Amino acid sequence: MEPVFSTFAASRPYTAFKQEMTLIALFLDNQTVNHFSALSRYFNNLLNNPKSVFGRMFWKTLAVKNDGIKAFKSKRINFKLKQMMKVFGEIKKNAKVRKVPMWRHHSTCQNCGNFCHPDIFNVHYFDDRFNRYCNCEFADCASKIEIIESDIELDMDLIIDKKRVLHLQLLGLDERMEILVEKKEKVKTIRHLEKMKPAFKNMKQNGHYKETRKQATRALKELEEYDSWFRRVRRNVNYKAPLGGALGGGR
């Protein structure tokens, strides 16, 4: 039975929702399938009535278009259940993505304040000799999902700490790189010495004052020390002559 409205304006949202219900299904998140509710009890009854053609088309559109469920032709197929089972299967898979080691399953009992391990038998907890472990018949401690979440958060914190350390190391490497770049630029200045030789030689020979000529002479001697720095071919001090090489052998 259709609901009755006092004015036409009041019936507009209801009529629009009814006309576009199947289209709305295209934009709904599949996670809402098990708790989706319409704007009124009338639509809720219509959508959840197994004999309702309108309701079947709505859930079929939501399941086929949004979740890729096969479009069965049989009218006995409950597409809402199909979608719910798919969501349920995905949640079960998600629950298995994290396996918590047994040694991380313990938590603190809120009743006695001791370590508790209520879900897995542990002989150390069972034969507690030092009153360190919970012996309550019903322990009040972290749930399984809380243990999994805290275990994931623990690893996340370790990664964050590692990233912080690596960030500091990167900053240190950047600083070392800047120092090396600066040293490299300084070493490049040695190449200018070769171009300065003619000027020093000229100053040595034609300097107006004797002291100037002496300073130019000393500078040229110091420049000679750097001559070998520019040579590619030079005597190898590690050369070892072959045996008999100096005896003039041969036919």
Q: Which has the higher per-residue pLDDT, 114 or 36? A: 114
**Tens digits of residue pLDDT in 182-238:** 999 999 888 888 888 888 888 888 888 899 999 999 998 888 888 888 888 888 899
Query: How confident is the model over 22-28, as a mean pLDDT?
Result: 67
Looking at per-residue confidence, does 207 or 10 come out higher?
207
Q: Does the pLDDT of residue 245 top 70, yes or no?
A: no
The domain segmentation of the chain, as residue ranges, is: 9-95, 187-230
Please say whether the beta carbons of 67 and 59 come within 8 A.
Answer: no
* pTM of full prediction above 0.75: no
Tell the burial category of 103 from Cβ atoms under 10 Å away from its Cβ (0-12, 13-18, 19+): exposed
**pLDDT for residue 30:** 59
Span between the terminal Cα atoms of the chain, in Å: 124
What's residue 111's pLDDT?
Answer: 92
User: Which tops the pLDDT comparison, 234 or 34?
Assistant: 234
Mean per-residue pLDDT, 78-84: 80
Say how many C-beta atoms besides its own lie within 10 A of residue 63's C-beta.
Answer: 26
Which residues lie across from 107 on neighbouring strands? 116
What are the tens digits of pLDDT across the range 82-122?
Answer: 878 888 888 888 888 888 777 677 788 999 989 888 888 88
Choice among 27-36, 83-92, 133-142, 146-155 with the minimum mean pLDDT: 27-36
